Amino acid sequence: MKVLVLNGPNLDRLGTREPLIYGSTTHADLVEMCVAEGKELGFDVEVRQTAYEGEMVKWLHEAADASIPVVLNGAAWTHYSIAVRDACSQLTGPLVEVHISNIHQREEFRHHSVISAIASGVIVGLGVEGYLLALRWLSLKK
């Protein structure tokens, strides 16, 4: 079974962007971790990252049309993008929203997610391990 792990803006900067908040794991490391975990769980995991909102929307449409489960870190779009939220609402497979940091312990504008209400589940504040936990949860839903 295919699973898409989709990352929004600035997540390509993992490892160098605010390491006290996001840790030292690079995006390439994250890709490797997710693909390896997916393989162990019997998934074909594809990890994608974009800074372009329209591209993210198209990827979500692709997942909706094929009933592909999604692990989504919408990054900044989490807090304001109705376009990403509306694309997520069309998903026909499970959606797990993931955030590396605990968004509720950060700036007030990060406390609200427009995606959480339509997600199957939300994982925040557990570092990059949150992605692996999301994949493990999806394996229970096979």
Condensed to tens digits (0 to 9), the pLDDT of residues 8-67 reads 999 999 999 888 788 889 999 999 999 999 999 999 999 999 999 999 999 999 999 999
- Residue whose token pair is 């990890």: 47
All structural domains of the chain, each given as residue ranges with its CATH number in brackets, are 2-140 (3.40.50.9100)
**Which candidate in 27, 99, 111, 112 is catalytic?**
99
**Which candidate in 22, 61, 112, 131 is catalytic?**
22
Catalytic-residue membership of 131: no
12 is known to lie in a ligand binding site = no
Q: Which of 87, 79, 129 is nearest to 103 (CA)?
A: 79
Predicted pLDDT at 110: 82
111 is known to lie in a ligand binding site = no
Six token digits for residue 12: 């390509």
CA distance 88 to 82: 10
Model confidence, pTM: 0.95
123 is known to lie in a ligand binding site = no
Catalytic-residue membership of 22: yes
